Every structure is written in C-alpha cells, then in structure tokens.
Structure 1
Amino acid sequence: MVDRTSLSGPLEDPAADAGYAEHPERVGFFTDTSICIGCKACEVACKEWNLLPEDGLELTGMSYDNTGDLGASTWRHVAFVEQELPATDLGMPGLGPPGDGSTGDGSTGDGSPGDGSPGGGGGGVRWLMSSDVCKHCTHAACLDVCPTGALIRTEHGTVLVQDDVCNGCGYCVPACPYGVIDIRPGDGGAFKCTLCQDRLGAGLAPACATACPTESIQYGPLDELRARAARRVDELHERGETGARLYGHDPGDGVGGDGAFFLLLDEPEVYGLPPDPVVTTRDLPAMWRHAAAAAGTAAALVAVCFAGRGRR
C-alpha cells in the first residue's frame, strides 16, 4: 500500500510504483465537454465492445439522460445539464473548434442548440453535456481496500477489475471518491471502465474515443493530453468563455491527478463531480499505527496485571 500520509509529491508513474520495471507510456482520456453534442455514441460503443447488459430503457425524467449515472453496466455516461441563462448571456460566442459552424448568437447554424442557444423554444437555456468515466486515479483508494487483489494497476497506468477474482464484497464502492464503481445486481461483482484494456494491448484506442464524432473524448499519452488541454483552455478564454477550466489534470491534487480528466464550462458540482476529491484511504496508515500502539499498550497492561497477581 502506498503511504497516503505523504501525498505532497505526486506519483507521476503509477505503473512503476505498482512494480512494472518496463512498461508503456501512461495513457488516459481528455474529455473536452465544450464540444460534446450529447450523441451518446460513446455509451453505445462502450456497451457494444464490452458486451455490457442493457440499461437505460426507461425514462428517468432527467432531460435526455436515460442512463442516469455511471454504474456496473454503464461505464460511459453522458450527462445533460440544462442551465437557464439571463438574457445578457445568450449572445455568447460559439464554443466549438475553428470551422465548426458556431455563430455569434450561440447556435450552430443548422437549427441545433449551441452553447447559449434557447434551443428553438425561446427559453434561454444553455446545455452542458459531458461524457463521464472512471478517472483511473494516480492514487486509487479502491486498490487499497480490495481484499482479493481483484483490483490491479495495469502496465498502462490504468486501474482494472479482474472479474474472475472479484468476490463482490463491495469495499471498493464507498472507497471511490467519484462514486464510479458499482455492484451489478444478479451478478454480485464490481464493474467499471477498463479503458478497453484488451484494445490497448493490441495498439488500439478505446472504443468510446474511436466512436466520438466531435473528438470530445481524446485518448493518448497523458502528458500530451495535459498540454493539449491547457492550450484549449487558453483558446476558450480568448474567445470569451472565461468559465472554462480543467478538472482532474493536476498531479498535485488530492488523488495525485486523474488518468481521465475534463475541460468543464462550469463548477464541477454542476456536472455531479466532487470539487475536491481526496484519497479516501489516506488515513489508513496512521489508523493502523494508532491501533498497533493501542494494542501494545493493552498487552503491556495485561502483562503488568498478571505479574502483580504472580507476586501476590
């Protein structure tokens, strides 16, 4: 177990920390929510490739969000967040990349809503869409609590659940600071995104990134993605979208940086993300030390008691 009491220095190479002397460059996801169109191609591709059970077939009452959240059978989840905007904000510049057809009135020019379009209904609504996924944390608490070794760090720096080793204890579920891991009813095992481990081994990109038509989901070496994301934020700020920010990209944050990070247009809470995620097992080493000290003290007291009786 990594000593969670010394998280001041980030572990930039979790695969090496896990014991891989030689391994590929760490890879991950950069999800640019400013160009997500909510098509759900990523959700479909993830389910098809990983043979996940169907879900989301009933209306949830949450706009067009039929799956609701990440879960054991939904490893990619597209969130739809509707925000009412004051009239002064409706003329925000389009947020798409150069050449995407965005117009100055917030629409895309083809009748579909843009970043600040009323969506044809005249309601003054901005749609924030984001494809969420497991973060593959640098400091992954789920690894710390798994009693069977079902959760492992791979050579790519990702976090993987081995289905045939998982006993369904569920300890990993509350340990995850993002609420990603879930137990599948009827199966009893824990499941989450694998970052398409089988595809990575064959030199292929994950299914969701391959299917994304706008390149909102970008896959590659993590360092390259971070540099690309920083440039994208600067570009959006220059175009007037001052709310653009990165989430999960900083190796100095509470979980040592995420292997899947995001460009957001509002506060993380708006997207259902914790503002300051931490490693939930960070206090375990100190707790074990205190427990050992308490046990030692109790043993010493018992020994003293028996010694006193012996003298009497």
Structure 2
Amino acid sequence: MISGTMNKNSDLSLVDVNIKRKAILYDASKCTACRGCQGACKQWHDLPAEKTHNWGSYQNPKDLSPKTWLVIRFDEHLKEDGYPMWLFNRQSCFHCENPDCAAVCPTGAMTVRKDGVVFVNHDLCIGCGNCADACPFGVPHIDEKTEKSYKCNFCIDRIDNGLAPACVSACPTGALKYGEREELEREALKRVEKLREKGFSEANAYGVGDYKTNVILVLPFSPDKYSWIPPKPQHTQSVVWWKEVFSPLGALAIGASALGALFHYVTIGPKRVEEITSNEEEK
C-alpha cells in the first residue's frame, strides 16, 4: 500500500530534475495557530486522534507520530517588556531537494517523484528506521505495530487531480500557499523584505539557501528561536557514510561476486547434470 492513494495515470512517479517542482509556502507572520491545517491533514488521510496530556503548552500534540503528520508548534518567548510572546511554526515533512531519508533507504521505499514530492511506498518499507535516523528534522516515524514509516506525503492524491494539499485548502488566513517552487521562493523573499520594512530585522526564508526544501517557511524571527528546526540544516553523518563508504563497498562486493562467478565459469565451466548423475551411479 502506498502512503496515500496515488493516481495510476500520473507520469510524475520518477525523479526528473527537468520538471518544475511543486512546493508549499508557510508564512508564520500570517499564522494564527488555529490548527485548521492540522485537523484537515487528519481528516483527509483518515488518521486517528491520539490520547494526549497537558505538558505545559498550548501545543497539542507534542510531536509528530505515525498518526500525526502535521503539528503547529507553539514556542514561548519573552518580549523586551517582559510580556510573553508566541511564535508559531509548521512542523511537517520538508520534502527536501536531496532528501537524506531516500538516500539511506535500503529498499527504495522512500520515493522521490519528478515534482519533488517525497513519499513512502509501504509495499517496499521494512521499518528499518534508517529514514528516521537520517532526517535532520526528525520527521519520519516508525509505527511499532505495522513496522512501517509514516510522514506527510504532500497529499499526492489531491495534487495529482488538480487540488491543493488539504492543509493549504483549510488555511483561513493565507498563511499556506501551494504552487510552483520557483514562484513561491520569489514570493517568500518578497514577503521577507516587507517584514523587514515593518521592523522584523531577523525575518528570513527557510529552505531557500544551500539546503533547499520544497516546503518554504517565511519566519519573522531567526530560525534559532523556533524549537524544532536546525538554524543551518546539514546532511547527517549517516548519510555521508552511506553515500561515500557503504554504498560504494556494496557495489564493489556485488562486482567482485560477479567477477568470481565469471572466473569460475571460464576456468572450470558449469557443473553439468550428466557429471552429477554419473558420480551418483558409481556410488
């Protein structure tokens, strides 16, 4: 089963850098933390509610899980006048341009489409947890019962049929927008300029620098003030080892096995059925 219903007639199932990439733009300055997007994600994907408890924050639930693919984060800070201030942020999959989760997946279950969407093919997923360990944002989660990885799939069944992702459709303030990545990146940078003109000197666009993502965040404050995102995301060491050491070693091992089989065939030849039968008759 694929994570979400995929349009079988879609030709966007394989990676192709030539096709324009889809993206979601989240503007924290327009977000009221109504969590309509959070509820829409649950409803569209038929994800069950989870039992939670008060842990000292309005944020609920506390984190992502196999049953919760999107969370609106509440980060509390004190302003210069001593009054509290909430910073809202969207926690979900970034659908990275070069996703670490896909790089370390041993079965190809973590799939990258032509349009940049990263989704889990549950027919191939073995629940090894490599994706969860490699993700610099801690997004994928393994379900202990199904032994499968779960995360946001960008509502591929919706976008393949001309609809925006459920979270975007449910946003009442325009904090979420869906479209072509290049266009949304330009819009994000314009919004950052306007925020700076209004006095938000730390305003920035997250996901448009060296580490590019297909979910772009417009943040009024510097990334280090938001609890779940690394200020400067980097590829994890496990991915570096996988790409530079283990993957080449695996290729060498396969090549050596093939050469050994070929050498055996050339020097000794195949084991013939007649020889085996003759030996058995002599016994």
Q: Secondary structure at the match of 2:87?
A: strand
Q: Secondary structure at the match of 1:78?
A: strand
Distance 2:196 2:18 in 1: 40
Q: Does 1:278 align with 2:234?
A: yes
Q: Which residue does the alignment assign to 2:77?
A: 83
* TM-score, normalised relative to structure 2: 0.78
- CA distances 1:198-225 after superposition (whole Å, capped 9, x unpaired): 0011010000000011111111100010
Cα displacement (A) at 1:229: 0.6
Q: Which has the higher helix share?
A: 2
Unaligned 5+ segments in structure 1 are 1-14, 88-122, 296-312
Partner amino acid, structure 1, of 2:188: A
- CA distances 1:140-197 after superposition (whole Å, capped 9, x unpaired): 1111111222111113211010122211111111011110000123222100000000
Q: Does 1:198 align with 2:196?
A: no
Q: Which residue does the alignment assign to 1:267?
A: 222
Aligned length: 239
Q: Let me know the Cα RMSD of the aligned residues.
A: 2.4
Distance 1:147 1:282 in 2: 15
Pairing partner for 2:245 from 287, 290, 297: 287
Distance 1:126 1:147 in 2: 44
Cα displacement (A) at 1:62: 3.7
Distance 1:62 1:164 in 2: 39
Distance 1:85 1:22 in 2: 46
Q: Does 1:245 align with 2:223?
A: no
Cα displacement (A) at 1:291: 5.5
Would the aligned equivalents of 2:185 and 2:208 in 1 still touch at CA under 8 Å? Answer: yes
Would the aligned equivalents of 1:60 and 1:68 in 2 still touch at CA under 8 Å? Answer: no
Alignment of 1:1-150 (within 5 A): 19-20=15-16, 23=19, 25-55=20-50, 57-87=51-81, 124-150=83-109
Would the aligned equivalents of 2:41 and 2:69 in 1 still touch at CA under 8 Å? Answer: yes
Pairing partner for 2:145 from 183, 186, 191: 186
Q: Identity, % of aligned pairs?
A: 36
Q: Which residue does the alignment assign to 2:268?
A: none
Partner amino acid, structure 2, of 1:284: W
- CA distances 1:221-271 after superposition (whole Å, capped 9, x unpaired): 000101111111111111111121111112xx14xx001121112232322
Q: Which residue does the alignment assign to 1:228?
A: 187
* TM-score, normalised relative to structure 1: 0.71
Distance 1:21 1:84 in 2: 44
Q: Which residue does the alignment assign to 1:97?
A: none
Unaligned 5+ segments in structure 2 are 1-10, 254-283
